[in-house]
Amino acid sequence: MKSDKKSQQLDSLSTHNEDQKLTTNQGVRISDNQNSLKSSNRGSTLMEDFILREKITHFDHERIPERIVHARGSGAHGVFKLNKSLEAYTSANFLSEAGKETPVFVRFSTVAGSKGSTDLARDVRGFAIKFYTEEGNYDLVANNMPVFFIQDAMKFPDLVHAVKPEPDNEIPQAASAHDTFWDFISLMPESMHMIMWLMSDRAIPRSFRMMEGFGVHSFKFLKEDQTCHFVKFHLKPRLGIHSLAWDEAQRISGVDSDFHKRDLWEAIENGDYPQWDFGVQIISENDENNFDFDILDPTKLIPEEIVPVEIIGTLTLNRNPDNFFAETEQIAFHPGHLVPGIDFSNDPLLQGRLFSYTDTQLSRLGSPNFHEIPINRSLNTVHNNQRDGHMRSQLVKGKVSYEPNSIGGGCPYQAMIGEGAFYSHEEKVSGTKIRMRSKSFVDHYSQAKLFYNSQSQPEKRHLEKALIFELSKVTIPAIRERLVGQLSYINDDLCNTVAKGLGVEVKKLLFPNQSIPAFTDPETLQSEEKEPLIASSSSLSMEFTVKDTVKSRKIGFIIGKGADSSSFSYLTSALEERGARVEIIASSMAPVKLSNGAIILPKHSLTSCASVLFDALYISTGENSGNDFFLSENKLKILNFINEAYAHCKAIYFGDGASLFYESSNAYNKPYEDPGIIIPVDEDPLNKFLNAIAHHRVWDLERERNS
């Protein structure tokens, strides 16, 4: 009774200070936030200044340990809408009722870099989703690649130590191009499939909004009658899967290292809500052993030609966080946050993850009460007998914190299965306790082959160049040679091209597994040179992705004084009507007068930005006389813009008055048809421009454009 009175008092007090006066953390109003308390006008600062001490103490403790991996992240709120019921497979409530909407928070991340590192690293991207379901929180802690480097959790610290900056000099930051990473990888044949993904352009996405998501492991869908199916989770971006060029990614790192964070933030602020189709591959329990690989092996994917992805819902991100630290930094994911109807498989990597994530939250967030931080709270009210602990904020009333009890009327009671209680798959388990890798995990090359064979020609070239770039940074020749030896098991063209680019002789490794102790069984030391089950899979190449939209693409308009106003308005509205974003670049930040006298305000100057920040360019310069675009300094800057965009295979529209730039650029007078170069005399230039932007790049002409 007493405590009820107290809480009523507290409630009424909490409405005080409505005029938002500055206070201490104890709620005391502050009259001077400029000066500390001193013994005299020019005297020493007094210890009793509790206002100063509180402010500085809080400041001193503002940082919490960053995540050991995935430290750099960007997040957003959104909603998952189920379009097709999965109740035939799972009792999970949020997957059962078509039309149901579940709030989510998604955090994207790079893996290797520190919190302040560049967004543009060649790296895997995290794609972690917290579903706030009515049955509790479900976390799908996914990546943008469907496989992983290693098969067993035992190797995770080794992998992460190898890729992180080297311990003696803390170099390099957010980069895999160094000795220790490639030393480890060259001794780990099981990583070869993932290396194909990591060296492909998937590792340098154009935007978080344009990348896929994969749950990687096989999980289980369960019904209360114990019917079980294996399931793999997929997210397919509505805008298509698109990447940057490696040279471009390196340039953006310097010009705007928050490129992906900004892109996500701006898209949501502009109402261009990122969307993904959410899909599942479902495998009946009876088919578990009917593949030529083990579905528990996280270095393998299930080709969509073999088990199609069924689209069952839509993920939409529609609200930016209010506070980065409170939400994106403090969100705590865990593959073990499950709801009834979903269960783990025995994938040994997944099993190891189940320990790691809570453990990591304890050291990062500092308390077992991290579930009480608002971003981590379940929608379902939490009732249990856990108590106390660092920073406990839940105020549980009464004497009882144990079960069974009679004093508390028995509360809280256990729920029954069928009342939304969690239940596990009742699996038969038998076997010999053993520390060994299963023989069914031994084929390391056939899916690496499948991935390489599925790439388009430009994608293959990019992958080869990435390997040459990375391995050229390695200082120990033996590591390069060993890695080339691994490539010889994947594809001869790939191996020979990389060997040539590195100046290395190809020496096929006789026993690629011999160097590692994982396979202690002599039979499994022999390399497996299997052919993949299917020769190629179209879903593995970005070539076949969505290329019919300019929505949310950023078009840089380089506009000079006197630029033709009617072309400017026509093109701006045509692009904006289709959802593209036009940003004006001028010679300085001063307003620009168009041919009809209209004034436009630039968002950028030629000095403050670079072509790499835009998907396409339009140049319109107006009359030559009095136009500072034709001053030699600006002319050079514009030509640099154009030539760089040209090298990165982007669409460039030379509008009114820009012929001089066209003729001086690398795009001029080429012996081949280039669908990415638009000039006013083209037939239907608008549609040519729109089509070129929607296609993302003219990758097929990369060699020609750069020769």
Residues lying near ligand HDE in the complex (CB under 6 A) are found at 67-70, 73, 107, 109, 126, 128, 141-143, 148, 153, 156, 216, 298, 333, 349, 352-353, 356-357, 360
CA–CA dist 660, 100 (Å, integer): 57
- SS3 for 440-500 is HHCCCCHHHHHHHHHCCHHHHHHHHHHHHHHHHCCCCHHHHHHHHHHHCCCCHHHHHHHHH
Residue whose CB is nearest to ligand HDE in the complex, by number = 126
* Residue 220 backbone dihedrals phi, psi, to 5 degrees: -125, 140
70 is catalytic: yes
Q: Are 453 and 492 in contact (CB under 8 A)?
A: no
Minimum distance of ligand HDE from residue 322's CB (angstroms): 18
Give whichever of 107 and 193 is closer to ligand HDE, judged by the CB atom: 107
Beta bridge partners of 593: 599
User: Is 148 or 182 the residue whose CB approaches ligand HDE more closely?
Assistant: 148
Residue 366 Cβ vs ligand HDE, minimum distance, rounded to whole Å: 13
Q: Based on CB atoms, which residue is closest to ligand HDE, 141 or 645?
A: 141
Q: Pick the closer one to ligand HDE by CB: 67 or 650.
A: 67
What are the distances in angstroms from CA 342 to CA 226, 336, 338, 407, 427? 11, 10, 6, 35, 14
Of 202 and 604, nearer to ligand HDE (C-beta) is: 202
Helix (H) or strand (E) holding 157: helix 156-163
Of 93, 143, 144, 513, catalytic: 143
**Alpha-carbon distance 342 to 335, whole Å?**
11
- The Cα–Cα gap between 260 and 270 comes to 15
User: Taking each helix axis from N to C terminus, what angle separates 685-694 and 565-577, rounded to the nearest 10 degrees?
Assistant: 40
Tell me the DSSP string of 364-402: HH-STTGGGSGGG--SSPP--S----TT------SS--S
DSSP letter at 153 equals G
Give Dmax over CA atoms of the chain in angstroms. 93
What span, in angstroms and rounded, lies between the C-alpha atoms of 285 and 295? 11
Nearer of residues 349 and 645 to ligand HDE, judged by Cβ:
349
The single residue of 70, 217, 337, 444 carrying the catalytic annotation is 70
Residue 544 Cβ vs ligand HDE, minimum distance, rounded to whole Å: 24
Using CA atoms, how far apart are residues 354 and 336, in angstroms rounded to an integer?
Answer: 6
Q: Which is nearer to ligand HDE, 156 or 422 (CB)?
A: 156
Shortest separation between residue 416's beta carbon and ligand HDE, angstroms: 32
Q: How far is the CB of 156 from ligand HDE (least distance, A)?
A: 4
Q: Is 398 exposed, middle or buried (0-12, 13-18, 19+ CB in 10 A)?
A: exposed
Tell me if 102 sits within 8 A of 379, measured CB to CB: no
Would you say 328 or 665 has its CB closer to ligand HDE?
A: 328
Q: How far is the CB of 248 from ligand HDE (least distance, A)?
A: 25
CB atoms within 10 A of CB 236: 20
- Rounded to a whole number of angstroms, the minimum distance from the CB of residue 28 to ligand HDE is 36
Alpha-carbon span 162 to 70, nearest angstrom: 15
CA–CA distance, 376 with 280 (Å, rounded to integer): 26
Q: State in angstroms the smallest separation of the CB of 352 from ligand HDE.
A: 4
Q: Is 359 exposed, middle or buried (0-12, 13-18, 19+ CB in 10 A)?
A: exposed
Q: Which residue has the tokens 């109402």?
A: 271
358 or 572, CB closer to ligand HDE?
358
SS (H, E, C) 661-698: HHHHCCCCCCCCCCCCEECCCCCCHHHHHHHHHHCCCC
Q: Are strands 101-110 and 342-344 parallel, antiparallel or unpaired?
A: unpaired
- Smallest gap from Cβ 165 to ligand HDE, in A, equals 17
CB-nearer residue toward ligand HDE: 141 or 198 = 141
Contact (CB, 8 A) for 564 and 596: no
Asked if 143 is an active-site residue, the reply is: yes
Q: Which is nearer to ligand HDE, 243 or 360 (CB)?
A: 360
Q: How far is the CB of 298 from ligand HDE (least distance, A)?
A: 6
Q: Which amino acid is at 497?
A: T
Taking alpha carbons only, the member of 630, 623, 618 closest to residue 679 is: 618
Q: What is the spatial distance between Cα 212 and Cα 124, in angstroms, rounded to a whole number?
A: 11
Least distance CB 17 / ligand HDE (angstroms): 35
Distances (CA, A) of 116 to 62, 65, 113, 612: 15, 13, 8, 21
Quick check: 143 and 213 in contact, CB under 8 A?
yes
Residues with catalytic annotation? 70, 143
